[in-house]
Amino acid sequence: IHREMAEENGGIRWRLVLVASPLQGHMTPMLQLGTYLHSKGFSITIAHPEFNPPNSLNHPDFVFLPLPDNISSPGKFTSFLGFLQALNDNCKPHLREHLVQIINAQKEKSEKESVVIIHDNLMVFGGSVAGDLGLPSIIMHSSSAAFFPAYKIIPQLHKDGRFPVHDPLMQEIVPELDPFRYKDLPFIDLPMQDALDSVNMIIPNTSPSAFIWNTLQFLEPSALTRIRQQYQVPIFSIGPLHKIAPTPSTSFLKEDTSCITWLDKQEPKSVLYVSLGSVANMDEKVATEIAWGLANSNQPFLWVVRPGSVRGFEWIEFLPEGLVDEMKGRGLIVKWAPQKEVLAHNAVGGFWSHCGWNSTLESVCEGVPMLCQPFGVDQLLNARYLSYVWKMGIEIVMERREIEGVIRRVLVDKEGEEMRQRGMEIQENVKLALSHGGSSQNSLIDLVDFILSL
């Protein structure tokens, strides 16, 4: 493919350098994007911090470029912002040096190779290195489109005296972001200066040639319109990438596949799948309320407890013995699951989630209704989409009696059936978007043409 592509384009080859973030929810879509673009004839380099490296054996066609990051232990950072800043500062010179080498080597070769940088929105150094070297850059977002205008507006809200937000404003809709409320805003839980610093850190400080979103036009028409009104460069909405370019496992943790055999033995749509993603941590009290809610619900469940995600415990030592007995026979607890396979399994009737964007997309694409327990960042916006706009989710109040009730609403009651119906409609729309002439398919074609025009 690569030779044909070069022949068609006057002998020019393209090397796309994808600058990936070491977060699970960011790495996966980046590798999927690379897989798609490689299938279209582009050479792919994945530049990534040394911390949480992707498994290169699963992607034999890519070149991997580990960037020394000096992050010996992420635990040494007191805030996520500090971690992100260190990653950006430490990786930047190494990326720059590598690109300079590529550019110099090309000068000596007769064969031309155009280099384009596609960088994760958190890896802002990718954009600044590209700018310094005169290379085009594209920003890849693995969160919803809604997240972008929602964090960009925060400095403005601060100037207007609307941030930090106080009651009763919290419950109101932000006029510029309808249907999102003040309480759904990113970083709302942080001290004000930390929130402003976080926004400043991730607002693009360079002018990218284009933006990519792992989203679908029909899911987020207003957010995409808002972005298109603000930026005069192409905006590509090419999701859901896990359906467009499925890859071998991209998990940093080992997937426990025994849960699929367990699911095979369960009744259709009877199981509640519970997973709170790759980052969220919680107190023992919250984890225990979840456990009691599951135990009392009388529904089968598959619960992912990521090691270390309950503060102060290695794994599930926080569970009182009586509770373990209560849950026996009806539930399975694992450390990490093959989530996409779980959500596509016929036995799964609901997904209790932190509403990270990947989990949200993976669930709505399988028509699985969600119980929403957002922890922060973009997750509050995703929960609002699920419960208020797409009507495929219910927000959870963290108290065991409430939890039991919500589990029944989703798995047993008519409400759950209605959400599944909505899920089927959304699934149909996803299929349309991916088929010939559909919005994501067209956007992918436009993206390839755009890169070739750079």
Could you tell me which stretch among 19-27, 173-181, 310-318, 321-329 binds ligand UDX (CB under 6 A)? 19-27
Partnered with residue 353 across adjacent β-strands are 275, 372
CA distance 106 to 102: 6
Closest C-alpha to 444, from 106, 36, 111: 36
Q: H helices within 231-283, ranges in order?
A: 241-244, 258-264
Among residues 26 and 59, whose Cβ is nearest to ligand UDX? 26
Q: For residue 28, state whether it binds ligand UDX (rule: CB under 6 A).
A: yes
CB of 360 to ligand UDX, least distance (A): 7
Among residues 390 and 450, whose Cβ is nearest to ligand UDX? 390
Among residues 75 and 322, whose Cβ is nearest to ligand UDX? 75
List binders of ligand UDX among 76-135 (CB under 6 A): none
Q: What is residue 335's three-state secondary structure?
A: coil
Could you tell me which stretch among 71-79, 376-384, 398-406, 411-419 binds ligand UDX (CB under 6 A)? 376-384
Residues 21/122, Cβ–Cβ less than 8 Å: yes
Q: For residue 378, state whether it binds ligand UDX (rule: CB under 6 A).
A: yes
Q: For residue 143, state whether it binds ligand UDX (rule: CB under 6 A).
A: yes
- Cα 78 to the center of its chain, rounded Å: 23
CA distance 32 to 34: 5
For residue 254, give the DSSP letter. Answer: P
Residue count, binding to ligand UDX (CB under 6 A): 25
Q: For residue 279, state whether it binds ligand UDX (rule: CB under 6 A).
A: yes
CB of 31 to ligand UDX, least distance (A): 11
C-alpha distances in Å from residue 258, one per residue of 274, 302, 336: 16, 11, 11
CA distance 360 to 369: 10
Among residues 11 and 248, whose Cβ is nearest to ligand UDX? 248
Among residues 82 and 93, whose Cβ is nearest to ligand UDX? 82
Figure out which of the listed residues 340, 363, 381, 403 binds ligand UDX, where binding follows CB under 6 A: 340
Q: What is residue 394's three-state secondary structure?
A: strand
Q: For residue 32, state whether it binds ligand UDX (rule: CB under 6 A).
A: no
Figure out which of the listed residues 127, 234, 331, 356 binds ligand UDX, where binding follows CB under 6 A: 356
Question: Which residue's beta carbon is nearest to the bound ligand UDX?
Answer: 356
Q: For residue 366, state whether it binds ligand UDX (rule: CB under 6 A).
A: no
Q: For residue 21, state whether it binds ligand UDX (rule: CB under 6 A).
A: no
Token pair in block for residue 374: 């957002």
Among residues 24 and 373, whose Cβ is nearest to ligand UDX? 24
C-alpha distances in Å from residue 371, one per residue of 22, 144, 381, 448: 27, 18, 14, 37
CA distance 217 to 187: 25
CA distance 242 to 35: 10
List binders of ligand UDX among 287-306 (CB under 6 A): 304
Could you tell me which stretch among 159-167, 185-193, 271-279, 412-420 binds ligand UDX (CB under 6 A)? 271-279
| Residue that the structure tokens 């070491």 belong to | 22
CA distance 235 to 228: 7
Residue 454: count of CB within 10 angstroms of its CB: 14
Q: For residue 379, state whether it binds ligand UDX (rule: CB under 6 A).
A: yes
Could you tell me which stretch among 5-13, 259-267, 336-344, 396-404 binds ligand UDX (CB under 6 A)? 336-344
Could you tell me which stretch among 87-95, 282-290, 358-366, 427-435 binds ligand UDX (CB under 6 A)? 358-366
Could you tell me which stretch among 8-16, 17-25, 42-50, 295-303 binds ligand UDX (CB under 6 A)? 17-25
CB of 335 to ligand UDX, least distance (A): 8
- DSSP string computed for 128-196: HHHHHHT--EEEEE-S-TTHHHHHHTHHHHHHTT-SS--TTGGGSBPGGGTT-BGGGSTTTTS-HHHHH
- Cα 268 to the center of its chain, rounded Å: 28
CB of 96 to ligand UDX, least distance (A): 26
Q: For residue 337, state whether it binds ligand UDX (rule: CB under 6 A).
A: yes
Closest C-alpha to 219, from 394, 408, 50, 363: 363
Closest C-alpha to 87, from 108, 106, 66: 66
Figure out which of the listed residues 69, 184, 289, 362 binds ligand UDX, where binding follows CB under 6 A: 362
Residues 355/379, Cβ–Cβ less than 8 Å: yes
Figure out which of the listed residues 275, 297, 387, 443 binds ligand UDX, where binding follows CB under 6 A: 275
Amino acid letter, residue 226: R
Q: For residue 371, state whether it binds ligand UDX (rule: CB under 6 A).
A: no
Could you tell me which stretch among 128-136, 159-167, 214-222, 350-358 binds ligand UDX (CB under 6 A)? 350-358
Q: For residue 25, state whether it binds ligand UDX (rule: CB under 6 A).
A: yes
Q: For residue 358, state whether it binds ligand UDX (rule: CB under 6 A).
A: yes
Residues that bind ligand UDX (CB under 6 A): 23-26, 28, 142-143, 251, 275, 277-279, 304, 336-337, 339-340, 356-359, 362, 377-379
